[in-house]
């Protein structure tokens, strides 16, 4: 068996598994990502000619494949949300992004500095890449397909899905802060702060939002109101158009030096608002979900191989402790604190705080950082090991807990809504 034959075989089995496994484990305390991680680990340990990806060697490839997976998932998340954007309607996600995200970055950076005894630059980079959440790795904690009703989403699923859509773009300033701090050096580190706030925090985010609003409005008009009818793409119900919208928004934002992740999510929300009750949203969402599922399965399979061959052997007990503390202590505490005073019930606040899932976005940010600067090269093996282990831990713990916890929450919600 040649290398290409093995790759074709593994890809075919993986694609079939991505279609079948979600239905097989639907009622079990398991998740499809857990199975693909395990499959990748097992195959990597067997004497088979299947390549094992090493991010240090294959950094550019890892960066672009994870980037593709993230932007497709962002389009799917935005199209799935039924609730119109607003200060009050989106109070939960605003808190998670505006309060919980920076609190998590600060706490994790301090944790890395103390436990790993790292300088501030690599500690901040680790915190920034582990900050964004990724509920796609536990389907129970994200919203379902688009519907006509604006208020049929429970607060936990809605908040976690919208948080994932927003924070994948808004975590980028903290990655850039780590890069800027490392480039400036400890003695002159304060000189970059003003430019970082004006350009990286405010300017690039504003460009991303503006591009998303403009591209989304133009595509919404094209999809639903174009004349002639041949250009009204909603009439033809072709799902691959979602990829066109994704790449267009991302490409324009990146060319204008804005945050492409934020632009894609805003584009999806704007298209959703253009004709909220139209069935075309379901077609677009189903297509993006299928592509996202294939990409995620592929990446998790490769991550499983990397974990057992490279990451876990390089992981220290201190790095493992940081991963455990982030998942079990930092995110739950920061998530609870950030929701203090919100209108959600205590059960909803607890579940939202607990399910801060780490995933593909963390791998992208780290690969991007290594491509943008060589100042972290000495810390590369440990950075990759800690991030990969944290993703593994999140997939296992959250994947196991998601089904029973969310179903119990649903039962309690239905019971409280039923009149005596």
What DSSP assignment string belongs to 349-403? HHHHHH-----HHHHHHHHHHHHH-STTGGGHHHHHHHHHHHHHHHHHHHHHHHH
* pLDDT, mean of residues 86-93: 90
Q: Cα 76–15–129 angle (5° rounding)?
A: 50
At 227, the pLDDT band (50, 70, 90 cuts) reads confident
Tens digits of residue pLDDT in 366-387: 999 999 988 898 899 999 999 9
User: Which one has a higher pLDDT value, 115 or 234?
Assistant: 115
CB 115 within 8 A of CB 311: no
Provide the pLDDT for residue 412: 78
* pLDDT, mean of residues 148-166: 82
Percentage of the chain exceeding pLDDT 90: 49
Tens digits of residue pLDDT in 238-257: 889 999 999 999 999 999 99
At 144, the pLDDT band (50, 70, 90 cuts) reads confident
Tens digits of residue pLDDT in 275-310: 888 888 899 999 999 899 889 989 999 999 999 999
Q: Which residues contact 226 (CB under 8 A, 6 or more apart)?
A: 232, 233
Provide the pLDDT for residue 250: 97
pLDDT at 331 over 90: yes
* pLDDT, mean of residues 99-103: 94
């Amino acid at each position: 068996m040649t290398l290409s034959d093995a790759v074709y075989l593994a890809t075919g089995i993986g694609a079939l598994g991505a279609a079948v496994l979600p239905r097989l484990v639907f009622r079990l305390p398991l998740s499809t990502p857990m199975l693909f991680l395990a499959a990748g680990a097992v195959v990597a340990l067997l004497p088979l000619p299947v390549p094992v990806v090493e991010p240090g060697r294959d950094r550019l490839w890892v960066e672009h494949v994870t980037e593709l997976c993230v932007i497709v998932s962002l389009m799917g998340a935005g199209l799935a949300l039924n609730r119109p954007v607003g200060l009050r309607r989106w109070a939960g996600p605003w808190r998670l992004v505006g309060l919980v995200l920076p609190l998590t970055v600060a706490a994790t950076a301090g944790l890395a500095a103390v436990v790993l005894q790292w300088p501030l630059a690599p500690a901040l980079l680790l915190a920034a890449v582990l900050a964004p959440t990724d509920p796609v790795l536990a389907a129970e904690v994200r919203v379902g397909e688009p519907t006509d009703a604006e208020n049929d989403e429970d607060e936990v699923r809605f908040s976690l899905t919208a948080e994932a859509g927003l924070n994948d773009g808004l975590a980028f300033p903290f990655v850039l802060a780590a890069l800027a701090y490392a480039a400036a050096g400890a003695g002159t580190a304060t000189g970059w702060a003003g430019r970082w706030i004006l350009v990286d925090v405010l300017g690039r985010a504003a460009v991303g939002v503006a591009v998303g609003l403009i591209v989304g409005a133009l595509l919404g008009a094209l999809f639903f109101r174009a004349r002639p009818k041949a250009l009204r793409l909603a009439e033809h119900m072709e799902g691959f158009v979602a990829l066109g919208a994704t790449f267009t928004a991302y490409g324009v934002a990146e060319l204008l030096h804005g945050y492409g992740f934020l632009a894609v999510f805003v584009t999806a929300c704007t298209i959703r608002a253009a004709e909220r009750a139209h069935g075309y949203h379901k077609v677009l969402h189903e297509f993006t979900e299928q592509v996202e599922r294939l990409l995620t399965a592929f990446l998790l399979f490769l991550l499983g191989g990397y974990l057992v061959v490279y990451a876990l052997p390089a992981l220290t007990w201190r790095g493992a402790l940081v991963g455990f503390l982030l998942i079990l202590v930092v995110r739950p505490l920061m998530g609870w604190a950030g929701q203090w005073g919100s209108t959600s019930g205590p059960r909803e606040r607890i579940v939202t705080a607990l399910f801060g899932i780490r995933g593909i976005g963390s791998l992208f940010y780290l690969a991007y950082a290594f491509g943008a600067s060589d100042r972290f090269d000495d810390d590369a093996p440990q950075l990759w090991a800690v991030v990969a282990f944290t993703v593994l831990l999140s997939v296992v713990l959250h994947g196991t807990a998601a089904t029973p916890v969310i179903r119990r929450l649903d039962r309690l919600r239905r019971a409280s809504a039923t009149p005596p």
